[in-house]
A and B are shown apart, each in its own frame.
Chain A
Amino acid sequence: MNIAISASGLTLDAEVNPRFGRCEQFIILDPETMQFKVLVNTGQSAGGGAGIATAQHIIKEGIGAVLTGNCGPNAHQVLTAAGVEVVTGVSGNIREAVELYKSGGYCPSSQANVSDHFGMGKGKNR
């Protein structure tokens, strides 16, 4: 099944985006062939509930897993309810992250790894 990676750029050479709900785009990738496409994240501009909007948006791509830096409680709930594996703590080069995932180097997370609105710290680093 396809996997989605929150992306800071438009290619596999870009960095993994540390935020799930409000990242600019996702790379939707077939791990077998490494063919991919870029999906613009419409949930990014949500006034509230960005995690929920983003999760619903990418679930429609028929993915089996999400690789991201941080995932909040609402997004995690939606993804899990849809049967999507959530892998947090992913960072660095997207291509390398995917290879590490394929070789079993990442464990899926059973819960959100950050609290709500984490990536919107307004300089408070919370």
Chain B
Amino acid sequence: MIVSIASGKGGTGKTLVATSLARSLIDDYSVTLLDCDVEEPNAHLFIKPQITSTEEIAVKVPRVRQDRCNHCGKCSEVCVFNAIAVLGDTVLTFPELCHGCGACSHLCPRQAISEIPYRIGTLEKGHSGGLEFAKGELDVGRAMATPIVRKVKQRPPGEGITLIDASPGTSCPVIEAIKGTDFCLLVTEPTPFGLNDLSLAVEAVKELGVPCGVVINRAGKSNEVIEHYCQEQDIPVLLKIPLELKIACLYSEGFTLADGLPEWKARFKQLAERIMELTGERSCNTQR
């Protein structure tokens, strides 16, 4: 079973939920945690993995052979991303706009374009106390996060539960993280901002055809803001994590809820079981 954890609004508690879930389930299930918030991964701060491999991630960008190019401009015509411009006798390429589709290279009538790697980031793999871990990280200054998210998710289909910690928002890297998962857990906070961005995330998730449920973090006096919306949309509220100083202190020291407050282990296990019910997953497929 693959569960993505997303939000809409940033800072609602995706990583808190993802890492706490991972730590709660490790006793009974085979668990993998993938940090797909590649612009600012932070799950490793709580999981503290031992990293066993690091690989460079590159996209393919065009390189034009000036001796073969006759400046016909075909490459520029076919590029939908405007990543290659032909002016007079010069060809300019813009690697940061290139999506690596290969159209320019493939369609050049003089075969003057080859594809060369353009590094955009890294993929680290490791483990921590029986938990399998992977983290994607976009290099500072690079613009395209989505290919890294894709790479992090690329794994042989396995047993057990895979948890994907996504970025905030609903832009391309988030869509890539949620796409194809069995369930999306949306973490929100009971405020008007939380609700506004949650509704955007719900729209995105519905478009992707992924079933979802909500976790209300920093729950307290104004939960009905979210609960009312979820009832209207027929979305289950699966967990409420209260606004409590001790939880904030724990998290600020790098502990997940499962590590610091053991009663939460049972609650996160229940959350996972609820998700399995909702996705029709037979728990014996995922259990150790």
How many of chain A's residues touch chain B, expressed as a range?
10 to 19
Structural contact, A78 and B85, CB atoms closer than 8 A = yes
Chain A 53-74, CB-CB to B under 8 Å as 1, else 0, gives 1011001000000000000001
A50 within 8 A of partner (CB): yes
Structural contact, B92 and A49, CB atoms closer than 8 A: no
- Identify which of A50, A59, A74, A83 contacts B94 (C-beta below 8 A): A74
Q: Are the C-beta atoms of A81 and B82 separated by less than 8 Å?
A: no
Contact of B87 among A46, A47, A53, A78 (CB under 8 A): A78
B157 contacts partner chain A, Cβ-Cβ < 8 Å: no
Question: B64-92: which residues lie under 8 A (CB-CB) from chain A?
Answer: 76, 80-83, 85-88, 90, 92
Distance in angstroms between the alpha carbons of A59 and B76 in the assembled complex: 14
Taking CB atoms, residues of chain B closer than 8 Å to A82 are 87-88, 90
Known pairs A74-B94, A77-B92, A81-B92; A48 contacts B87 (CB<8 A): no
Q: Is the CB of A50 within 8 A of B90?
A: no
B248: interface (CB < 8 Å): no
Given A52-B85, A56-B85: A78 and B97 within 8 A (CB)?
no
- Shortest Cβ-Cβ A-B pairs, 7 listed: A49-B82, A82-B87, A52-B82, A53-B82, A49-B97, A81-B90, A78-B85
Chain A to chain B contacts (Cβ below 8 Å), 11 pairs: A49-B81, A49-B97, A52-B85, A55-B85, A56-B76, A74-B97, A77-B92, A78-B85, A78-B92, A81-B85, A83-B88
Residues of A at the B interface (CB closer than 8 Å) are: 43, 46-50, 52-53, 55-56, 59, 74, 77-78, 81-83
